[in-house]
Amino acid sequence: MKNLLPWTRLKWNWKVYGVLMGLYALGFATGFPFVLSFEEYESPYVFLDEILQGFLLGAVVLSMGMALSKRTGLGTTVLDSWISGKRKKISLTLVLSLSVMGVIASSFLLLALRFVASLFIAAMGGDLSPAVHASADLMSNYPEVWKWFLVAFHAGVTEEIIFRFGLMNLLVWIFYRLGSENRGLSPKSVFWISNLIAGFIFGLFHLIGVVPVPDDLLSKAVVVLQNTWVGLLFGWFYWKFGLESAMLTHFLLDVFLYVWMIPILMTANVVLILAWFVMTVIVLIVAINKYSAISTKQAV
């Protein structure tokens, strides 16, 4: 870990906190059009109560994250450099190319995981009807594209602040303290243990999300496993490049899955699906080439 400072030496950057709180508020608000597609509130008071709870949670988590980031070194790289005026050498092209590569690879992995799980259930003589009915209900009431864009922004901002800036930061600090006392954990071990736990909790969180999960054990296990994996991906970006890169990757993954992939596959149009696949491969090749060029340049 980069820093482990005593509480008395912490310098609170109100500008960073203010920007993050404003971003959290915007992200929180953009999720409601999507939520209202699935839920109905009994009264305006219930709706306002949920808003209040969300803002209080954001304020507490951001406060904790701001304090802990000074010890763990896990923070907001781009925002810090922008506000301080001290530019850090971070290639946005490198981050974007890695993000695109991770998003596309993870999306196909998630699709394959669900397919393999379905084959496993069928081979074991299990009942696929809950998953089929849940998927059919979602497809028949699939929210508009603009709502998916908004909820992708919502998830990318609020969930990364809560699970990476807050929870993962806390876990890293706890395990670093334990490892320092016992001299048994390296910084990388601390990161991966913290990332795995935060990712698993992130996966469990999606069992109670707005989109209903089929009421069978294997389907729930697949949801947890899928979201644990992408949680690990977001955590890695957070560790390597800062919170902004985790937000970007989260946003791009949701857009790729729910705006670009699923609606195309839902058409069952072979020509359209083939065109989508070719375009996706082209984007992936461009990202790989950009990453290779930057890596080669940095190695020279």
Instruction: Express each pLDDT in 27-83 by its tens digit.
Output: 999 998 988 887 777 777 787 888 888 889 999 999 999 999 888 889 998 888 888
pLDDT band, very low/low/confident/very high, at 235 (cuts 50, 70, 90): very high
In a domain, 2, yes or no: no
Q: CA-CA distance, 62 to 20, in Å (whole number)? A: 8
What domain range includes position 127?
7-299
214: left (phi over 0), alpha (psi -120 to 50) or beta: beta
pLDDT at position 148: 93
pLDDT at position 237: 97
In a domain, 166, yes or no: yes
In a domain, 273, yes or no: yes
Q: CA-CA distance, 62 to 14, in Å (whole number)? A: 11
C-alpha distances in angstroms, 254 versus 6, 71, 156, 216, 238?
39, 31, 8, 24, 17
Number of independent structural domains in the chain: 1
Q: What is the per-residue pLDDT across 192-229, written as a single tens digit (0 to 9) for each?
A: 999 999 999 999 999 987 777 777 777 788 899 999 99
C-alpha distances in angstroms, 68 versus 1, 140, 225?
11, 44, 28
Q: CA-CA distance, 91 to 294, in Å (whole number)? A: 9
Contact 190, 196 (CB under 8 A): no
186 CB contacts (<8 Å, ≥6 apart)? 179
Q: CA-CA distance, 250 to 245, in Å (whole number)? A: 8
Q: Does residue 89 register a pLDDT over 70?
A: no
In a domain, 179, yes or no: yes
Q: CA-CA distance, 282 to 60, in Å (whole number)? A: 43
Q: Rg (Cα) of the chain, in Å, rounded?
A: 21
What proportion of the chain, given as a percentage, has pLDDT over 70? 87
In a domain, 1, yes or no: no
In a domain, 44, yes or no: yes
Q: Does residue 8 register a pLDDT over 50?
A: no
Contact 72, 165 (CB under 8 A): no
pLDDT at position 132: 61
How does the average pLDDT of the chain come out, rounded?
86
In a domain, 224, yes or no: yes
Residue 204 CA, distance from chain mean position: 13
Q: CA torsion sign, 41 to 42 to 44 to 49?
A: negative
The single-letter code of the amino acid at 140 is S
